[in-house]
Every structure is written in structure tokens, then in C-alpha cells.
Amino acid sequence: MDLPVVQARKLVERNKLTWIDNVYQGSVPEGVVNDTSTTDVVISEYVNEPTRYANSRFKGWEIGVEVQIFYAESTKINIQDAEITFLRIFENDGWSVDQSKHHSKDPDTGQVSKVFYFTKKFNLKEGI
């Protein structure tokens, strides 16, 4: 099984949302940190642990990712509609939306950002 950030990154990239310019794992690369002309998605792991214990043994695995969206300063999209579509992509792939934080605006750059937390649970095969 791929790491949670890899699964989430592949999911976002596979769906080719035209308003997303870049998808990064873990952090934004040093050279583009202050670039507000693109909409960037940063995916980080926040849960990766055994779950569903029975008979002193775990029967499942839970993964989770934090997804930060940094909108281009001059974005022309309807952000609310875009976010609903974005969440549906995760939901349709079996992820749950754990949290949806408020939009915030960077006081230095003016860039709007949003953070979501998603989790997904897997049943493990017996004998593993």
C-alpha cells in the first residue's frame, strides 16, 4: 500500500482539476514558496496507524492527510464550487472529510488558503 500522501497526490493528479497548477508532498519547494501566481496543493500525512482491534490484534489501518490549498492571488474560479468538487473527489475514493478549516489570507502576500483533513480506513487481510 502506498503512503497516505502518495495515495492522495495520485488521486488529485488523476482528476486533473484545471484550477490546480501544482501538487506537492510535504511542503512547497524552496524556489516557489513566495510565488502567488499559481494555485498550489500541499499534501502532508497526519494519520497512519492500526485500527479496529479484536482479540488483541489490529484488523484495519487508518490513514489521513492534511491538504492545504494556496490559491493564486488573481484566481478567477469560484472557490466554493471548486472546493466542493475537490472534496467530492476524495469522498468518491472512500476518504472521509474530518475537518474543513476556515479560509485565511496571508497578510504579507494576500494569498488565500484553505486546509482540509481527510481519513480513509482499510480492512487488512487475515494472516498478514
pLDDT in tens, 71-118: 999 899 999 999 999 999 999 999 999 999 999 998 888 899 999 999
Pairing relation of β-strands 96-100 and 112-123? antiparallel
Dihedral of alpha carbons 26, 31, 37, 38, sign: negative
C-alpha cell at 109: 502576500
User: Which is the CATH superfamily of the domain at 4-123?
Assistant: Phage tail protein-like (3.30.2000.10)
Residue 36 is which amino acid? T
pLDDT in tens, 111-128: 999 999 999 999 998 765
Q: Which residues contact 51 (CB under 8 A, 6 or more apart)?
A: 58, 59, 60, 61, 62, 121
**Directed axis angle between helix 4-15 and helix 79-92, to 10°?**
120
Structural domain boundaries of the chain?
4-123
- Look at residue 62 in the predicted model and tell me its pLDDT: 97
pLDDT in tens, 2-26: 999 999 999 999 999 999 999 999 9
